[in-house]
Each structure stands twice: as structure tokens, then as C-alpha cells.
Structure 1
Amino acid sequence: MQSIEAIELNRLVIHAIHNMADEPDIADSEEALSEGLRHFFEEHIRNCIKSSSARTAKFNGSNATVSSCASKIIDTPEDFVEQCRVIGLWFGHRMERSCEARTFLAVGLFTDSDTEDRYLALLKMDPVKAFVRRQNAKTAFEQIQILPDPSRQLFRYAIARPYHDESRYDTIYRNQPASKDEDPETAAMWLEAFLEASEVATPRQMTQLVVNETEKWIQANEDQIDEEEAAKLRNAVKATAQTEQMDVEMIASVVIADEAKREEYIGRLLDKGLTETSFVPDRDWAERASRKTTYVCDDGVKITGPSDAIDDVVQILPKTPDRKTRLVIETRKFQQK
């Protein structure tokens, strides 16, 4: 799923969930897909698929609510609205555990234009405050709530396909807290309660783990391994991360001469969460991680960082009428040096 490039949104339903209401506002019909609305949601879906912060998960079984509905929708698209209603009611029920007051759940059926495979997009869209000025209005501006623009990364979403025993994962998702003090029930609601799925490590996570932990292991053992061996290990890991298969045991056996040190190195990787010593690495991430991206602005101002991470921090918005480019930087950590 993470290799999907071109998509076409086929159907869309949007449910409104309000914890203060007696029951959720479950849509009983599809949205009319105008060109603008279709483009809006296709952009959101593409951004979700390509997000470097996306995770992968396995449904707990084919009988889980979302898993079952996704299978029925993809097999029989004519049942889309009926199954979306089930998903909406299930989401509303799970939202009762959350402290959030209001949100929207957009459910979209889309097709991978290259393979014709169908997938289900579940987008939790928290409304954004905005102000508009209506013609002939008595007040200058009126506060309204709108759906988040595609330039804003969604905190929670899932791109799902039907459950399959032999598939490593069934969904790619994001479960990012909206604030640092988010309550535990809200944090657990999306993946565990609503999707009924468990996280599995992505190729990107495993590749990052091996690259980062290798460097830490080298630094921790700099007094016990010579510089040449350290350089060989570092270079072998980075080079292998850009190939079809990454086998850390083979790398260690070729580069690390001391058997005890080999076992210590592999043991560190396993202790840090590596679940497979041989896997298909994320070549795209590895190639970008070896490069840096720099945005050059007016008056010599530069924004620079690793190519694999900078797009999650810096967002480029459409040009203003006076042809200025707007950059939005979103970060939890900030230091001025």
C-alpha cells in the first residue's frame, strides 16, 4: 500500500460525531463528488499514504468490525453506504471513551489507478476554527468550523484493505495525539478500540532502527573496536539499507571479527525492537536519509534538515496573491541557538 502513487476516489461518506449529542449524526447517503471535493479528499489520502510518520498494523481478525466492513465494501461496492453506516455507529460508540467534543469521520472508497486494487480510507477530521465575512452581515466576521486542509497532516487516519492471514499488515495508519496532555482513553481509542488492530513494524522503522542503533553501538564500543572496523560496519549498514534485502547477521559476520562482539551487536538490535534480522529495507528512506534538504529564503535565511524528516516539520502552502511562498513549521521541540 505504501507504494501507491495515483489514486481515484470513487465514493465518500462523512459522519458527524458529537459526544454531547444523544446519538451520532450518521450519514445515510453518499457525498456528491464534485471536482473540488474529490480533489480535496484525494490530496488527503495521498498525503496519508506517503507520510513518513505512518505506521502499519494487522487487524485482530477478519471478524473485527472495520476489517469485516472493509472486506464487504471492497468485494461489493454497492454495499458501501450500508457498511459505512456500521462503521460510523461503531466509531461513535468508541468515541464515547474519548474526551473530544466533536469530530468527523470521512470514509472513502478509492482505487489504485496503476493496479485497479480498491482500498478504504478512514479519515478522522477534527474541525478547524475559521472566520468568514458574509455579504450584508451585521457583524464583521462569523466564526465557523471547517474540515482541515490537505496541507495539515491529519492526527488519525487509516488506509485499509481486507484482512489476510498471510499479509504482514492490513492497514497503514497514524495515531498522533492532538496535544501533549491528551487523555489515555482518547489515545487508545483509534488503534485498539476502533480499528481493533495491533501495530507491526514497518520496513522504514526497522531500517531506521538498524541504522541508528548501529551508530550508537559503534560509539559505545569505540574503545574496543578499531576505527577501520567501525567505518566498515557503518558503511556496510548504510549501503545495504539501499538494496533489496538487509541481513544484519550477514553484515556482522563479514565485518565484525570478534564473535562476542557480533553477538553483542545483534543482541542490541533485538533488544531495541528489531523483530527480523533479515528484511526488505525502506530504500527510499535510506537514500533520502543520506541527503539533506535546504530551503533558502529571503535575506539568507535557511531551513535545513534530513530529507527523510523535513517534510513532516515544514509545510509549503500555496503562494499568496503577491506571489510570496508561505512556510509553516510545526514542531514539538524548539530551541534558539
Structure 2
Amino acid sequence: MEYINEVNLNEAIIHVLDNNGDDPVYNEYTLDLSDETYEYILKHIQKCFKDEELKYAVFNDGRNIVKELSQEYLNGQGEFIDISKQIAKQLFILMKSNGSIPSCDLMVVSISTELGPMLALLKMDYVKNYTHNIEFVDDKIGINILPQFIGLPSGGQRLQKCAFIKPILNDNKIDLMVIDKQNKSKDSDDYGSNYFISNFLGCTIIENERDVTRNFIKTAEKWTRNNLKDNADAAEVVRSSLKKKLKEEEKIDINEFSKDVFGESKDVAENFVQYVKEQGVNEQIDVDKQWVENKLKRVRLKIDKDIDVYINEETYDDNSRFEIVRNGDGTINILIKHIRNYIEK
């Protein structure tokens, strides 16, 4: 997967898209990127690039206004403010056609990265917050708390929808990176529908190495919980074997992995492979080594539903401090050794 670590802001603008209005409120000036504003926008972008919901995508064939406008800017053929207005207009048209899409500010940002220039589209959904109101009543001061519904997400909050569009080149594997988080509603006309990807961006999500790796880990864990829930010994073998493979191998063949883990238990091995395939996992897994490294830095163990243990990878692998002892009856003992200090929280 292409990981973005270096981001610089070139210029940014924000437009108000209020469903209660007849037209967007267009900004005629780019934002003054003071230190505070620069840091606020940068935090959001960095958080998006690190978000595990960030997906790869390619633009669909055919006419696509957002694609054409973004490429016009990225190829140096259009004015930033004018192009940002036209992009905002396209989103506002969708919002007016579907009243369940919440009002927002659309922030358009030109950024430079180690992978080249990109145009960022950040849908800043409004956040409810509160302020005080001071008024004089009978020559006395009265102070009330009033809700506000137009607050922007703080730098610590995660955006629900955004896109990072690249210049389209012949050797590109992807055209853009997208976050499109869905709500839990099953109503296809609700805000959780696919309007952002399908209608606004006009793109199709494609699977990347991180998605493949994560899906395999998630599927293997689900199988383990379902089939070995009363056999902690066997479950530990599956989990430790999986961690070892992820750390050591660039590719994992699920058939070979299953044979290595389950040995002569052919029925169990076949059941594992069949289940994994049914969940859409391919036989060959291209391991995203960087994601695995970050994923395994900390291990969380939920033990018998009433004990939580958080432990870093180094300690987990250090037998002088942490050890799993098999009892021979399907149960295990987990030993935390040589404790010098502990506190209660």
C-alpha cells in the first residue's frame, strides 16, 4: 500500500453547503494559512491518511465532472478558487436531491506529498457544540447555554468522508484515495448510502494489500473464535502461528498455512481453508508489512470475558517476562513474570 507520511499544504479554501439554502455560499478567497489554521487542516489530513478506512479507488469510465476539474487543476490548467467552487456545486446538487445528506463545509486543499501533488476534498460535517449567551434582565446579568449546530470537527475527530485525488498518469495503479464511512442504517436513501463514491466522485473502490492482510487476519480470528472457543491451547497455536507468518513472510498461501497449523487434522485444515475462501479471501495473501508492523506493536487479550491485558510486542515475545504455559487439557496459563512495579487505574 502507498503510505503518505510527508504532507505540505499549498493552498486551501472552504465553501458552505447548507441544505436550508438555495445555493452554496462560495468563498472568494483562499484561507489564510496561519500557523493555527495550517496545523488544524494538516491534522485532519494526516489523520485521514492513517485511517484504516482509507481505500484505493479508480475513476469510472465516461464523463466525470470531479475527475475533470481535479485533473485540470493538477495539470496546472485551472484556477484553484474557480475549480473548488465547481466541485462544491456538484456536491451541493447531490445534497439538495437527497435531503438526508447533512449540511457541511467542503474544504478543498492543494497538498504536496512524497508521492506527488494531490487535491484533497474534505467533507466537514457540522458538529453540535455549545456556547454561553449573556443578556441583561432587569438590570441583572443572565447567562444561558445555547447549542450551536455549525461547529466544524476538531483536529482530534475523524472525518466521515474525504478524497485525495492524484494526477492521472499511464503507470498509475490508483487514481485517488477515499474515506466513505457508512452509518448503520439499512435505508438506501439515508446518509449512509453510497452517494459520495458513486455519484459525487464517480469512482470504484479497489482492494489493496492492507485490506487483503486485514481481512485475512479478521477472518482467521473469527474462525478461531467460532471453532476453538473452548480450547485456548489450540486457539493460541493458530494466533501465534499467524503472527509468525505475518512477520516473516511476504506472501502467505492459506493452504500451506492451514497444513502447518493443523498438521494431521485434515478435516479441520480443510474447514479453515473453506471458511476463509467463503469470506472472500484469496488463496495467496500479499502481506502489507508496514501495516502488520503497526498492528502487532500492541496485543490486547480478552481473557474469559472478565480480564483485559494490554501488552506490547517486545514484552509478548520475551519469555522472561511473559509466557503461555499449556496445561494439556485445552486450557492454558498466562504468566506475567518478574513484576517490579504496578499501579491501579
Question: TM > 0.5 between the two?
Answer: yes
Are the structure 2 counterparts of residues 143 and 30 from structure 1 closer, same or farther at C-alpha, using a change threshold of 3 Å?
same
Max Rg structure: 2
- Alpha-carbon distance, 1:159 to partner: 2.2
The aligned runs of 1:294-333 (5 Å cut-off) are none
Which residue does the alignment assign to 2:103?
102
1:6-36 Cα distance to aligned partner (Å, 9 max, x none): 3111111211112222222233432222222
Q: Determine if contact 1:56/1:172 at 8 Å carries over to the other structure.
A: yes
Q: Determine if contact 2:250/2:289 at 8 Å carries over to the other structure.
A: no
Letter in 2 for 1:38: Y
1:251-293 Cα distance to aligned partner (Å, 9 max, x none): 3455555677655433322221225623132543455346247
- Alpha-carbon distance, 1:99 to partner: 1.7
Q: Determine if contact 2:29/2:81 at 8 Å carries over to the other structure.
A: yes
Letter in 1 for 2:274: G
Equivalent of 1:173 in 178, 182, 193: 178
Which residue does the alignment assign to 1:64?
64
Query: Is 1:186 aligned to residue 191 of structure 2?
Result: yes
Which residue does the alignment assign to 1:89?
89
Letter in 2 for 1:4: I
Letter in 1 for 2:159: L
Which residue does the alignment assign to 2:240?
235
Are the structure 2 counterparts of residues 293 and 244 from structure 1 closer, same or farther at C-alpha, using a change threshold of 3 Å?
same
Q: Determine if contact 2:101/2:190 at 8 Å carries over to the other structure.
A: no
- Alpha-carbon distance, 1:91 to partner: 0.8
Mean alpha-carbon deviation: is it higher for 88-97 or for 212-221?
212-221
Equivalent of 1:162 in 161, 164, 167: 167
Query: Is 1:73 aligned to residue 97 of structure 2?
Result: no
Q: Distance in 2 between matches of 1:279 and 1:151?
A: 32
Partner of 1:26, secondary structure, is: coil
- Alpha-carbon distance, 1:211 to partner: 1.9
Partner of 2:107, secondary structure, is: strand
Partner of 1:53, secondary structure, is: coil
Letter in 2 for 1:212: K
Q: Determine if contact 2:75/2:167 at 8 Å carries over to the other structure.
A: no
Q: Distance in 1 between matches of 2:310 and 2:35?
A: 36
Mean alpha-carbon deviation: is it higher for 213-222 or for 142-151?
213-222
The aligned runs of 1:35-74 (5 Å cut-off) are 35-61=35-61, 63-74=63-74
Q: Distance in 1 between matches of 2:147 and 2:279?
A: 48
Query: Is 1:152 aligned to residue 153 of structure 2?
Result: no
When the two structures are superposed, what TM-score results if normalisation uses the length of structure 1? 0.71
Q: Determine if contact 1:203/1:282 at 8 Å carries over to the other structure.
A: no
Q: Determine if contact 1:95/1:189 at 8 Å carries over to the other structure.
A: no
Q: Distance in 1 between matches of 2:250 and 2:151?
A: 45
Q: Where does structure 2 lack aligned partners over 5 or more consecutive residues? A: 302-306, 313-345
Partner of 2:191, secondary structure, is: helix
Letter in 2 for 1:102: S
The aligned runs of 1:18-33 (5 Å cut-off) are 18-33=18-33
Q: Distance in 1 between matches of 2:89 and 2:311?
A: 42
Which residue does the alignment assign to 1:279?
286
Letter in 1 for 2:189: P
- Alpha-carbon distance, 1:111 to partner: 0.9
Partner of 1:236, secondary structure, is: helix
When the two structures are superposed, what TM-score results if normalisation uses the length of structure 2? 0.70
Are the structure 2 counterparts of residues 77 and 40 from structure 1 closer, same or farther at C-alpha, using a change threshold of 3 Å?
farther
1:205-249 Cα distance to aligned partner (Å, 9 max, x none): 3222222322444566669x9x77x76654332222234622224
Q: Distance in 2 between matches of 1:303 and 1:252?
A: 29
- The sequence identity of aligned pairs, in percent, is 19
Letter in 2 for 1:190: F
- Alpha-carbon distance, 1:130 to partner: 3.5
1:58-89 Cα distance to aligned partner (Å, 9 max, x none): 32248433233222222217532232122111
Partner of 1:152, secondary structure, is: coil
Q: Determine if contact 1:8/1:110 at 8 Å carries over to the other structure.
A: yes
1:146-194 Cα distance to aligned partner (Å, 9 max, x none): 2111111112222222345664443333222467587634222212211
Q: Distance in 1 between matches of 2:167 and 2:142?
A: 50
Q: Determine if contact 1:132/1:143 at 8 Å carries over to the other structure.
A: yes
Are the structure 2 counterparts of residues 275 and 122 from structure 1 closer, same or farther at C-alpha, using a change threshold of 3 Å?
farther
Q: Distance in 2 between matches of 1:120 and 1:87?
A: 11
Number of aligned positions between the proteins:
296
Mean alpha-carbon deviation: is it higher for 41-50 or for 85-94?
85-94
Which residue does the alignment assign to 1:315?
none
